[in-house]
Chains A and B, each alone.
Chain A
């Protein structure tokens, strides 16, 4: 195959990788962001301490995080079939990716939110802020730079998962590396895909860092 033959293959690989990564990250945040905030407000000494929530939700999050992604991917095939209608192809990777990533996202959000100065939260409470107002008007805006960095890390981690999913019928750069590089012994292709993945990770990380720096008003 010439370079010209490779271009559409690689082009589609990049698109599939980005599709799986971004859509999964989005859904992982839809679940993980509220969950992470819930963990923060129910922590001891926080605005709504709740030991039961801490143990149960924290336990589920930890359990899901300790499941290896490839095993989870295979174990979830029935669920994937139910949601997507098939267990192969890039769209079929979204449910397992989301389920693998949202507990991780919840912990990232939790750790960013915990960085917010307790004094500021106390001040808001002293002004009569409700817990919801504390979350929406204090914790989220004050933790924004840290949340953005966290999102960049989450995105790049999910990108790594999508490459792994290539073993199980996903598309994308990981699948190209596995199918051409590993099964057909085209080592050069494997390395080329790896370099591409590294570049994409770098780009996401840099965008995250740049956005975080740009919106952070503490550094002047």
Chain B
């Protein structure tokens, strides 16, 4: 494996003492490689936000160690810890911009803290504004910006000190789906351009699918599964993982184009009442999304149609279409409504 930049060893975090003690994290081991985009996913209350705060010691772990770029954060003096934090950027669900500063001055803020001169800080901030695509908004105050723009400014601010790590705490959870995609694309781009390691905390599967290479699933204060996103998602071994991947009551995301393509399948009475879709799923090993179905069985023959969302993976999707060909089912790609 590549060199790890964050190494968490047997970390535990307990809030409170005695009878009121609440264990937020227990015996966490985690290795995050330099330059990767690593996802930490879990339901609310699982402990993922506490975990990310233990990386830059916004929360001090009760036990265990946190190595960032070789230095054990838990043993640093206060001064050294402040220094170390300057090489760990962080963005938040609520953006947390300084409301009384312009976009440009917000980006200058971490540089100001570390004693960089005003002129140099502004030059760097302008370059970052350009990088996040907001060079025309440098004089705007946060109150004048949209959620997506605020997060872009927050990202630029987090990157101003050239950190090696960018921690993202539910960074897209307050944004609409389109803006979420744009922000995720930006994070991916920055990861590739700057080589910054990105740690993404989220409760949303699609965020992990979209940008992460590896993922850890956290449930009830423990890491229950971790590995490559495709492996974990294809073969979830634990109930917690399954719940995250196929949440109960999930509705179709059929109109979103980042997921698999939609196909309309027509049953014109030439096929029998065999469970074609179920057989196809079993044969190809990946679930499909039934977006819409209206079929009737008349005298043992199926009539009607169904809209399926095939897996994103083109290979699996291709196999499914081949399967349908073999069953003499007619199908056509359905163009998603905008």
Q: Which residues of A contact B (CB under 8 A)?
A: 117, 119-120, 122-130, 133, 137-138, 141-142, 144, 215-220
Residue contact B99 to A128, C-beta cutoff 8 Å: no
Nearest CB of B to A118, in Å: 9
Residue contact B109 to A142, C-beta cutoff 8 Å: no
A120 to B101, CA, bound (A): 12
- A137-B109, A138-B98, A220-B144 given; A125·B58 CB < 8 A: yes
A133 to B88, CA, bound (A): 18
Bitwise interface map of B from 77 to 92 toward A, beta carbon under 8 Å scored 1, else 0: 0000111111011101
- A127-B110, A130-B82 given; A122·B100 CB < 8 A: no
Contact partners of A129 in chain B: CB under 8 A = 82, 113
Contact partners of A119 in chain B: CB under 8 A = 92, 94, 96
A137 to B115, CA, bound (A): 13
Nearest CB of A to B13, in Å: 16
In the complex formed, the residue of A with least CB distance to B84 is A128
Extra A-B contacts (10), CB below 8 Å, given A120-B96, A122-B58, A126-B88: A122-B96, A126-B58, A126-B85, A128-B113, A137-B109, A141-B98, A217-B100, A217-B101, A217-B141, A219-B143
Chain B 103-150 interface residues, beta-carbon cutoff 8 Å to A: 109-110, 112-114, 141-144
In the complex formed, the residue of B with least CB distance to A129 is B113
Residue contact B90 to A142, C-beta cutoff 8 Å: no
Contact partners of A122 in chain B: CB under 8 A = 58, 92, 96
Residue contact A123 to B144, C-beta cutoff 8 Å: no
Q: Which bracket fits the contact residues of B?
A: 20 to 34
Nearest CB of A to B320, in Å: 46
A107 to B68, CA, bound (A): 41
Residue contact B82 to A128, C-beta cutoff 8 Å: yes
Contact partners of A138 in chain B: CB under 8 A = 98
A217 to B158, CA, bound (A): 22
Nearest CB of A to B289, in Å: 36
Residue contact B98 to A142, C-beta cutoff 8 Å: yes
Is B41 part of the binding interface, using a Cβ–Cβ cutoff of 8 Å? no
Q: Which of B82, B85, B96 contacts A117 (CB 8 A)?
A: B96
Is B197 part of the binding interface, using a Cβ–Cβ cutoff of 8 Å? no
A128 to B114, CA, bound (A): 8
Q: Which of B92, B142, B161 contacts A123 (CB 8 A)?
A: B92
Contact partners of B113 in chain A: CB under 8 A = 124, 127-129, 133, 137
